[in-house]
Amino acid sequence: MGSVPRRAPLGFLTFPRRVPLGFLISLRLTPSGFLMRMRVNGFPMISRVPIVAAMLAIALVACGCQRPRPTHPAEGRAMGPLPIVSLDDATTPVPSLAGKVTLLNFWGTWCPPCRKELPGLVRIAQRLSGEPRFQLIAVSCGSGGDDADLARETASFLTARQLPIAAWGFSEAVAALHFSMACGLEAFPTTYLIGPDTRVRRVWTGYRSSDEADIAAAIVALLKEQDAPSR
């Protein structure tokens, strides 16, 4: 157990204020590098640690371990109403998932992989701004502190990065816990692609530079699926 001062680095993650910490870290080799899973005070986080591409290619050829993308436990499940609240205006209605293709992202201002990923998701949303059947919902998750801190830090980050999206957060801690258990939210960032029937179609955990193109293609494919005539 220990503490980390404001903005002190902890591996690839930083924490915005002094908090007591308990760590559990594991590493797993994946085709894009090491997948680092970390639990801090029981709260899950994720980061990818790149390794030399040539060494990885040799290792993959040698062991034949080019495995397909694992299926997330939430894929195929229906997602209920989101337990979130607007960080801009608490009276703002929570978006409905029914009838929309939804990209639901969970991120944190304190999370470097999240900060890299979010601008790409916003670019996707901007390119689809004329598509009324699509919506991006980005839920900001704090590393501690109160709701006022979360709202202030989220607004400051979005303004500084010029990311014109609505700011959402979990309505309460117990709601975040229940959602995490029900929908397999085990790390940050995590992004769900949800169909108009509210079923989860794809899930991306962690961040890769190729994710933006992959996510955009999956959204377009799902929108086209809705255009296809039913038999």
- pLDDT of 38 reads 52
Task: Provide the whole-model pTM.
Answer: 0.71
**Among residues 34, 63, 92, which one ends one of the domains?**
63
Residue in 8, 14, 73 with CA at minimum distance from that of residue 40: 14
Domain assignment of residue 112, yes or no: yes
Residue in 136, 124, 133 with CA at minimum distance from that of residue 196: 133
- pLDDT of 65 reads 39
Q: Same structural domain for residues 36 and 90?
A: no
Q: Between 172 and 14, whose confidence is greater? A: 172
d(CA 144, CA 15): 9
Parent domain of 184: 84-227
Domain assignment of residue 70, yes or no: no
Residue 54 has pLDDT above 60, yes or no: no
Amino acid at 150: L
- CB within 8 A of 129, min separation 6: which ones? none
Number of folded domains that form the chain: 2
